[in-house]
């Protein structure tokens, strides 16, 4: 009985992160201390975005990478916080871009305080992240380059919206940039700060692959997820003409007439009911599960890279975290 309970617990994110639970607490402390304002209005905004912190997968990667390589120190906590801060800034701006009302079961900044506050708060968080990064040797350049890559990926995605002919390779390139890049630097810096420069490149590759997997799953959840379970606004991709993996594969399976009809839908913004109907069609076609298998394949690739690195016993949580990413339903 006890052994089964343990196995169950290990499958949850909390269980996977148990070996670094204290350090994750230090990341939260670091962010509370270093991202603050004496102004009550800004303080209110910061307290609110604090609630968006949920899975904390990116800081966990920094910490677990350091631990796997035998040295987990104060700089890991700082970089974990900075990576989470950059992620939070992208979320705040994403919610404006997607006109989303809900994030982690709370109102988005944009929905509650308006677009102006949301844009400026995102900038405020980005610039604070960069300022904090300059305190950690070697981190500022890597983190600002990664952030630049994220923005490039997001810009590419905006420019490819409403283009149902988006090739799968281009989709993968975009998500490698917009999501893979931050996962990659989390792992890279986790290794570098542990003094393991020799394996930093390999860990970055591991991170990029699971970042891609994370985004594919995110794109699946946007079509087939349960808003109450996921805790954020869903269905925005189809509404905004964002062509993601399940959609690309769905289009490829359709006959000419059907494909032309769906391509027509994707070329313009969709209303709520249209989006639900199209989403149901895509789910019925099986391409959401198909895309999830692709995410699993990226995780397997990541695991193959990881198998060459570090202490087998110590890298177990990284492996579990990678598998969790492909499996997650929220």
User: Where along the sequence are the contacts to a copy of itself (CB under 8 A)?
Assistant: 37, 39, 41-42, 45, 93, 96-97, 115-117, 119-124, 126-128, 130-131, 133-135, 140-141, 144-145, 147-148, 150-152, 154-156, 158-159
Q: Compute, in degrees rounded to 10, the torsion defined by CA atoms 16, 302, 175, 255.
A: -110
Output 117 or 243, the one with its CB closest to a copy of itself: 117
Q: Specify the DSSP element, H or E, that contains 97.
A: helix 74-97
Q: For residue 263, how many other CB atoms are within 10 A of its CB? A: 16
The rounded distance, in Å, linking the Cα atoms of 89 and 146 is 14
User: Closest approach of Cβ 290 to a copy of itself, in Å?
Assistant: 28
Output 55 or 163, the one with its CB closest to a copy of itself: 163
User: Closest approach of Cβ 69 to a copy of itself, in Å?
Assistant: 24
Output 160 or 249, the one with its CB closest to a copy of itself: 160
User: Closest approach of Cβ 152 to a copy of itself, in Å?
Assistant: 6
Output 182 or 306, the one with its CB closest to a copy of itself: 182
Output 148 or 268, the one with its CB closest to a copy of itself: 148
Q: Which of 65, 323, 56 is nearest to 210 (CA)?
A: 323
- CA dist 180 → 10, 58, 106 (Å): 25, 11, 26
- CA dist 312 → 144, 205, 302, 316 (Å): 32, 18, 15, 7
Instruction: Name the β-bridge partners of 232.
Output: none
User: Closest approach of Cβ 179 to a copy of itself, in Å?
Assistant: 15
User: Closest approach of Cβ 36 to a copy of itself, in Å?
Assistant: 11
- CA dist 251 → 144, 163, 170, 275, 312 (Å): 37, 12, 16, 15, 42
Output 120 or 303, the one with its CB closest to a copy of itself: 120
User: Closest approach of Cβ 42 to a copy of itself, in Å?
Assistant: 5
Output 152 or 300, the one with its CB closest to a copy of itself: 152
Q: Angle CA(296)–CA(13)–CA(177) in degrees, nearest 5?
A: 50
The answer to whether 169 touches 122, Cβ cutoff 8 Å, is no
User: Closest approach of Cβ 209 to a copy of itself, in Å?
Assistant: 23
User: Closest approach of Cβ 313 to a copy of itself, in Å?
Assistant: 36
Q: Which of 272, 293, 287, 171 is nearest to 227 (CA)?
A: 272
For residue 101, give both structure tokens: 């009302």
Output 132 or 212, the one with its CB closest to a copy of itself: 132
């Amino acid at each position: 009985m006890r052994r089964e309970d343990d196995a169950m617990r290990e499958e949850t994110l909390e269980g996977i992160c148990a070996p670094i639970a204290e350090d994750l607490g230090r990341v939260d402390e670091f962010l509370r201390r270093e991202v603050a304002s004496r102004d009550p209005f800004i303080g209110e905004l910061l307290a609110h975005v604090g609630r968006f912190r949920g899975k904390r997968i990116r800081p966990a990667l920094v910490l677990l990478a350091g631990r796997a390589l035998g040295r987990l120190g104060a700089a890991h906590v700082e970089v974990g916080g900075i990576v989470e801060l950059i992620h939070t800034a992208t979320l705040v701006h994403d919610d404006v871009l997607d006109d989303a009302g809900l994030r982690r079961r709370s109102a988005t900044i944009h929905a509650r305080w308006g677009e102006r506050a949301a844009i400026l708060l995102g900038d405020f968080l980005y610039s604070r992240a960069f300022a904090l990064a300059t305190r950690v040797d070697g981190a500022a350049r890597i983190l600002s380059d990664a952030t630049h890559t994220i923005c490039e990926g997001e810009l590419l995605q905006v420019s490819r919206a409403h283009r149902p002919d988006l090739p799968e390779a281009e989709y993968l390139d975009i998500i490698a940039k917009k999501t893979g890049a931050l996962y990659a630097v989390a792992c890279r810096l986790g290794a570098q700060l542990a003094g393991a420069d020799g394996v930093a490149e390999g860990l970055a590759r591991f991170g990029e692959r699971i970042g891609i997997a994370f985004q594919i799953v995110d794109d699946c959840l946007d079509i087939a997820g349960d808003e109450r379970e996921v805790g954020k606004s869903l269905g925005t991709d189809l509404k905004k003409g964002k062509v993601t993996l399940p959609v690309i594969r769905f289009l490829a399976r359709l006959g000419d007439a059907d494909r032309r009809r769906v391509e027509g839908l994707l070329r313009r913004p969709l209303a709520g009911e249209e989006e639900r109907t199209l989403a149901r069609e895509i789910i019925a076609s099986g391409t959401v599960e198909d895309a999830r298998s692709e995410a699993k394949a990226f995780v397997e690739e990541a695991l193959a890279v990881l198998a060459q690195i570090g202490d087998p016993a110590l890298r177990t949580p990284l492996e579990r975290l990678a598998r969790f990413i492909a499996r997650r339903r929220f």
